[in-house]
């Protein structure tokens, strides 16, 4: 691993004398590490927090920087063009991932654990990590470097944003057993803790203030800590009043998701996964 880190440092600073074979070998080694889930852009630190592997994110950026545009077409009619450092993802039935036919794409460098289900059309970008039993529903996006836990449901049209830049920034993290409702958007390093539920249409960014009606607190990101949705929180879309004279005059409000409750048996019943489908 240390050799790989050093390789990408040298390549990135353009200070190297590697021949083409060595460059290609190291790139394959790196992509293989991402594809098998051995290399991750962020991982649990064992103490309940996450550590960002900045060098992995930087190395992905380097693949874009040093790559040249290449023809990746499947045939004469099915044409694609991408950087030659980011070839098509190697996939086989042995991966035990269900990719239902029709319009989905998984970019190389994304890890999909056995038992993941992909409903068409959906897209999973480089550096993403999707753990066992998770379902990515139709029209969903899992952006670059995003980390998604076990038995998560990313519902139809939900957008999980990708963050590659800056390299040190935490990617979006969704922990085990989370339910992300249809049409949600999770961006800019927001973290969703275990078993939380996002009701349909909740949008979370680094600027979003979330009002916890149960504990009567306001959750928001700080310069050194992105927004975190607590374990088992049930978040639904909400608004708050804009209390400037102008805001009052026109009755304006601004989007402000609410923690309406913490997960109970009713929530479990409505969000439980149907294992017959899996
Ligand atoms: C969040 C959700 C799971 C409901 O959870 P729940 O624990 O059953 O919530 P409850 O029905 O007990 O609702 C609690 C309160 O929140 C409100 N509420 C619940 N979900 C809400 C939502 N999505 N938007 C606005 N308010 C909502 C209820 O009206 C209720 O308000 P009240 O206390 O004033 O009566 C559900 O609303 C939801 O959004 N599911 C996602 C569906 C989806 O996207 N499926 C994807 C298929 S691909």
Cα(7)–Cα(3) distance, rounded to whole angstroms?
Answer: 6
200 ligand 1 Cβ < 6 A:
yes
CB-CB contact of 57 with 30 (8 Å)? no
**Closest protein CA for atom 4 of ligand 1:** 267
**Closest protein CA for atom 8 of ligand 1:** 267
Q: Note down the domain range covering 12.
A: 2-68
Whether residue 241 is contained in a domain is answered as no
- For residue 263, give the ligand 1 atom closest to its CA: 7
Number of domains forming the structure of the chain: 1
Whether residue 101 is contained in a domain is answered as no
Residue with tokens 């927001």: 190
Q: What is the CATH number of the domain that holds 46?
A: 1.10.166.10
**What is the chain's pLDDT, residue by residue, as a tens digit (278 residues)?**
889 999 999 998 888 889 999 999 999 999 999 999 999 999 999 999 999 999 999 999 999 999 999 999 999 999 999 999 999 999 999 999 999 999 999 999 999 999 999 999 999 999 999 999 999 999 999 999 999 999 999 999 999 998 888 888 899 999 999 999 999 999 999 999 999 999 999 999 999 999 999 999 999 999 889 999 999 999 999 999 999 999 999 999 999 999 999 999 999 998 887 777 77
Which of 117, 122, 181 to mutate for ligand 1's pocket (most ligand atoms within 8 Å of CB)? 181
271 ligand 1 Cβ < 6 A:
yes
pTM given for the model: 0.95
Cα(237)–Cα(239) distance, rounded to whole angstroms?
Answer: 7
Distance 270 CA to ligand 1 centre (A): 9
What pLDDT is stored for residue 89 in this prediction?
Answer: 95
Whether residue 6 is contained in a domain is answered as yes
Distance 235 CA to ligand 1 centre (A): 8
Cα(184)–Cα(260) distance, rounded to whole angstroms?
Answer: 16
51 ligand 1 Cβ < 6 A:
no
156 ligand 1 Cβ < 6 A:
yes
Whether residue 22 is contained in a domain is answered as yes
What pLDDT is stored for residue 2 in this prediction?
Answer: 83
C-alpha atoms less than 13 angstroms from C-alpha of 248 in its C-beta half-sphere: 3
Cα(228)–Cα(114) distance, rounded to whole angstroms?
Answer: 28
DSSP assignment, residue 230? Answer: P
Tokens in use for 22? 């060595």
What pLDDT is stored for residue 274 in this prediction?
Answer: 73
Whether residue 236 is contained in a domain is answered as no
DSSP assignment, residue 173? Answer: E
What pLDDT is stored for residue 76 in this prediction?
Answer: 94
């Amino acid at each position: 691993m240390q050799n790989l880190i050093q390789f990408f440092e040298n390549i990135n600073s353009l200070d190297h004398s590697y021949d083409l074979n060595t460059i290609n070998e190291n790139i394959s080694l790196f992509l293989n590490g991402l594809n098998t889930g051995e290399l991750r852009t962020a991982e649990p630190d064992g103490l309940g927090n996450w550590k960002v592997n900045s060098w992995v994110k930087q190395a992905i950026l380097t693949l874009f920087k040093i790559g040249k545009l290449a023809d990746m077409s499947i045939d004469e009619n099915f044409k694609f063009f991408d950087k030659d450092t980011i070839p098509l993802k190697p996939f086989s039935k042995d991966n035990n991932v269900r990719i239902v036919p029709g319009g989905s794409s998984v970019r190389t460098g994304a890890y999909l654990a056995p038992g993941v289900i992909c409903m068409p059309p959906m897209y999973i970008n480089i550096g993403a990590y999707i753990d066992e039993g998770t379902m990515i529903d139709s029209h969903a996006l899992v952006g670059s470097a995003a980390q998604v836990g076990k038995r998560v449901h990313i519902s139809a049209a939900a957008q999980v944003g990708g963050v590659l830049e800056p390299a040190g920034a935490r990617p979006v993290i969704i922990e085990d057993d989370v339910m992300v409702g249809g049409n949600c958007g999770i961006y800019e390093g927001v973290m969703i803790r275990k078993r939380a539920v996002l009701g349909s249409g909740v949008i979370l960014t680094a600027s979003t203030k979330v009002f916890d009606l149960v504990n009567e607190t306001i959750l928001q990101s700080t310069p050194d800590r992105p927004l975190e949705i607590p374990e088992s929180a049930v978040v639904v879309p909400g608004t708050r009043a804009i209390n400037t004279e102008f805001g009052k005059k026109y009755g304006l409000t601004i989007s402000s998701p609410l923690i309406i409750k913490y997960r109970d048996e009713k929530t479990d019943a409505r969000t439980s996964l149907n294992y017959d489908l899996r």
